[in-house]
Amino acid sequence: MPINAYKNNLPIIGKNVFIDETAMVVGDVILGDDASIWPMCVLRGDVNRIEIGSRTNIQDGSVLHVTHPNEHSPDGYAMVVGDDVTVGHRVVLHGCRIGNHCLIGIGAIVMDGAVIEDEVILGAGSLVPPGRTLETGFLYLGSPARKARPLTNEEKIFFRYSATHYLTLKDDYLQRFQHPTIGPTDSD
């Protein structure tokens, strides 16, 4: 099973969550309802907390980790990813905060203390340095990430399309591969 306790912290899994059998979810991790964690992802909440919102998908090969409390950062850096977020393939998120309805492009890196507000697209391969805030409603590109332009209405609609697509895909995987639904059910 890809879910493991660490120091008495066992991940908390919402309703109808899909976690691929090759993924690893460890420690102080909360997965919201209908979240999906795809092949080869690692969510390691060993030294701080990770929270993933409802209907958020973390795609293949992504790594999510946190920073422990220390003399430079008394609280360390936990990670919070909002609802209806698409995290592309091979993304690295480390001790950051991501709002609702965002798209994090393939291969992007977001560092400690960075904040991505609601409705942001972070382009593929972009780097968000520590402590940086990306303002709502914009496309950001590059390394370091820079504001490129305001989002179009079509791009804003795409946030919900992507979340809904992955919700349907997740349900298909749960059915086809007969993975047990992880987390509480309506009958609980």
Give the mean model confidence (pLDDT) for residues 63-90.
97
Per-residue b or e along 37-75, where b marks 16 or more CB atoms closer than 10 Å to that residue's CB = bbebbbbbbbbbbbbbbbbbbbbbbbbbbbbeeeeeeee
Q: pLDDT category, 2, cuts 50, 70, 90?
A: confident
Contact 42, 66 (CB under 8 A): no
pLDDT of 185 above 50: no
Q: pLDDT category, 182, cuts 50, 70, 90?
A: low
Q: pLDDT category, 59, cuts 50, 70, 90?
A: very high
Architecture of domain 3-176: 3 Solenoid (2.160)
- Check residue 180 and report its DSSP letter: P
Q: pLDDT category, 177, cuts 50, 70, 90?
A: confident
pLDDT of 186 above 80: no
Q: From CA 39, how far away is CA 59, in angstroms rounded?
A: 7
Between 104 and 182, name the one with better pLDDT. Answer: 104
Specify the pLDDT at position 23: 97
Give the mean model confidence (pLDDT) for residues 4-8.
95
Count of C-beta atoms within a 10 Å radius of residue 117: 17
Q: pLDDT category, 187, cuts 50, 70, 90?
A: very low
Q: Which residues contact 188 (CB under 8 A, 6 or more apart)?
A: none
